[in-house]
């Protein structure tokens, strides 16, 4: 996303673009596009810009409801009072920040969908991620399509600070008021909500957590941190191994390699990612931000609304689209990655590769201007999904205004707790240009943007990473689509028999959580069947345990009654 989508990154585009300009390019670049058949390896590396961090830190998802309130109207909107911090004792300072009658408290939103619920049945809880919770309610078909079978109560919880669940006022933009925006507080919110639900639905037999992307991370962490609260978790596309402190260490090139793999299996083999890399090589090596003639060529070629200030600005704009297209490489038309504003075609990466394979009959080789035009046409399926754009705002990786709404919030989370080393690109392993992860620059960015110091090991130390999954976790299904660039940062293998893995060969970003379609590949269908099987097992175990406790209570009561009668 994708959260987060949302998003994953985050900031004022003007400042972001300004940072990306400060260059890093060789001063001897030509003002004309080269026509040699083989480009030399890229040597120059751009200073990391906010746009790239916005794309990565953006964890994971950009999405909004595709169907206007089709499912929301079937549910009841509710609110629960939550402390501003579950891990402090409500100091005077916190009370002042909380404001209002609740002092150091505020309200978070959730939806209850009870049409299928019956006594002695489970609660399906969606652990909301970085967006308005209505988005997840409208798109999480796995919950809706199995609710009747399980007679389940569906609950969709909104993540604090996102959607309508913010403790900040509309004009409150100070970063100091975001200091309770983190996953630990969100999980504690969900635990409090479950307690309240258990009191109201006291005959519920189990609670199963669902989540995709950052929400999938939360679902898995919920089961691992609060195993007494949730009985199982479906964690789809959850990159919980994306943090420093893992053994083996996280690979900063993993995401870029994942996008490249999606391009490689989309109809033209290795030739597709090769042409994409050729386009980036041509784009970056043919001039720099001091070459005004070349920048004018780029403005015309990419149909930019405004002047281009650096080739890297165009490259990062195009890369952002390719990454999201890879994440959204679904078998059906979908607006999931576009906030419902327009749709990507079915198998969009195949469309990208077809565009890159178009040859200009007047060109003698693949390094002509036509290669850049092909790249423009390829990414236009993302940036002009509505078919209404007359020009492109280069430097802005958001396809529409809705996807920008929560970027600043996710940026804060990225810089505080969700700090992922993911900026290495280029070389033989992916289709982009050479750029290495630079933690020093990332730290500087976070201090400048949010006045916070990242804690790279926080997530691994707090949630346990591989050691927790291998040695202590239970009743979790980790699903990963091999077409999703995030899959290399997720749980792909385990020796723990209590953890189940679903590798989806033809699956994109938490494809398995979505509503089913006749066009779904067999691997997606099998993943959903596996997940339903595990949910059934968890519910049966919880139901059996409840029955045993009830029978034990009856036996104790009978024994006491007999003992009393004996001595009367």
Kindly name the residue from 484, 487, 510, 520 that is annotated as catalytic: 484
Pair 480, 487: CB distance under 8 Å: yes
* Burial annotation 55-71 (CB, 10 A radius, 16+ → b, else e): bbbbbbbbbbbbeeeeb
Residue 484 among the catalytic residues: yes
Cα distance between residue 201 and residue 210, in whole Å: 19
Kindly name the residue from 509, 512, 520, 523 that is annotated as catalytic: 509
If one counts every other C-beta atom within 10 angstroms of the C-beta of residue 88, the result is 12
Cα distance between residue 88 and residue 201, in whole Å: 29
Residue 149 among the catalytic residues: no
Pair 331, 347: CB distance under 8 Å: yes
What's the CA dihedral at 66, 68, 73, 78 to 10 degrees? 70
Residue 300 among the catalytic residues: no
**Count, residues in the chain:** 568
DSSP string, 533-556: HHHHHHHHHHHHHHHHHHHHHHHH
If one counts every other C-beta atom within 10 angstroms of the C-beta of residue 247, the result is 9
Cα distance between residue 360 and residue 364, in whole Å: 8
Supply the angle between the helices 522-566 and 141-150 in degrees, to the nearest 10: 40
- Strands, sheet with 153-157, edge to edge from the N-terminal-most edge strand: 76-83, 105-113, 153-157, 122-127, 206-212, 232-236, 476-481, 499-504
Handedness of CA 192, 197, 199, 200 (dihedral sign): positive
Kindly name the residue from 213, 310, 339, 416 that is annotated as catalytic: 213
Catalytic residue list:
213, 484, 509
């Amino acid at each position: 996303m994708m959260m987060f989508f949302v998003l994953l990154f985050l900031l004022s585009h003007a400042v972001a673009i300004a940072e990306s300009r400060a260059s890093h390019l060789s001063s001897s670049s030509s003002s004309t596009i080269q026509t040699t058949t083989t480009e030399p390896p890229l040597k120059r590396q751009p200073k990391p810009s906010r746009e790239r961090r916005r794309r990565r830190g953006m964890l994971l998802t950009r999405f909004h409801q595709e169907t206007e309130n089709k499912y929301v109207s079937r549910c009841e909107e509710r609110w629960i009072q939550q402390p501003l911090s579950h891990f402090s004792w409500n100091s005077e300072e916190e009370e002042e920040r909380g404001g209002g009658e609740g002092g150091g408290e505020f309200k978070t939103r959730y939806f209850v969908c009870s049409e299928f619920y019956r006594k002695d049945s489970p609660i399906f809880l969606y652990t909301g991620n970085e967006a308005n919770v209505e988005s997840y309610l409208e798109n999480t078909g796995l919950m809706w399509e199995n609710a009747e079978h399980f007679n389940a109560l569906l609950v969709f919880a909104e993540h604090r600070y996102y959607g309508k669940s913010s403790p900040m006022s509309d004009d409150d933009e100070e970063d100091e008021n975001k200091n309770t925006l983190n996953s630990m507080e969100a999980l504690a919110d969900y635990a409090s909500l479950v307690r309240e639900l258990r009191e109201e639905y006291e005959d519920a037999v189990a609670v199963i957590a669902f989540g995709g992307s950052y929400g999938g991370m939360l679902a898995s962490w919920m089961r691992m941190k609060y195993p007494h609260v949730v009985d199982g978790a479906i964690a789809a596309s959850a990159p919980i191994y994306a943090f420093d402190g893992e053994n083996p260490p996280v690979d900063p090139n993993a995401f870029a390699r994942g996008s490249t793999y999606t391009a490689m299996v989309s109809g033209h083999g290795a030739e597709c990612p090769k042409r994409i890399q050729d386009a980036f090589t041509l784009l970056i090596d043919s001039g720099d931000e001091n070459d005004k003639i070349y920048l004018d060529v780029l403005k015309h070629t990419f149909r930019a609304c405004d002047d281009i200030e650096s080739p890297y600005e165009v490259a990062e704009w195009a890369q952002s689209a390719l990454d999201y297209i890879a994440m959204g490489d679904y078998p059906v038309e979908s607006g999931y990655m576009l906030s419902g504003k327009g749709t990507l075609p079915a198998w969009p990466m195949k469309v990208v590769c077809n565009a890159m394979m178009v040859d200009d009959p007047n060109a003698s080789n693949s390094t002509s201007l036509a290669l850049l035009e092909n790249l423009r046409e390829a990414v236009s399926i993302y940036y002009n999904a509505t078919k209404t754009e007359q020009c492109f705002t280069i430097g802005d990786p958001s396809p529409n205004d809705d996807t920008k709404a929560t970027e600043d919030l996710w940026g804060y989370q990225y810089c505080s707790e969700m700090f992922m080393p993911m900026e290495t690109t280029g070389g033989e392993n992916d289709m982009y240009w050479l750029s290495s992860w630079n933690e020093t620059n990332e730290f500087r960015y976070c201090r400048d943007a949010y006045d916070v110091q990242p804690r790279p090991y926080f997530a691994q130390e707090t949630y346990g990473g591989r050691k927790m999954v291998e040695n202590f976790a239970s009743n979790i299904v980790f699903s990963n689509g091999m077409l999703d660039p995030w899959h290399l940062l997720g749980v792909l293998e385990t020796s723990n028999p209590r953890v189940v893995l679903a590798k989806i060969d033809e699956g994109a970003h938490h494809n398995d959580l979505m509503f089913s379609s006749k066009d779904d590949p067999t691997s997606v269908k099998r993943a959903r069947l596996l997940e339903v099987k595990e949910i059934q097992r968890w519910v049966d175990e919880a139901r059996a345990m409840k029955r045993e406790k009830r029978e034990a209570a009856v036996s104790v009561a009978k024994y006491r009654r007999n003992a009393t009668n004996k001595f009367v």
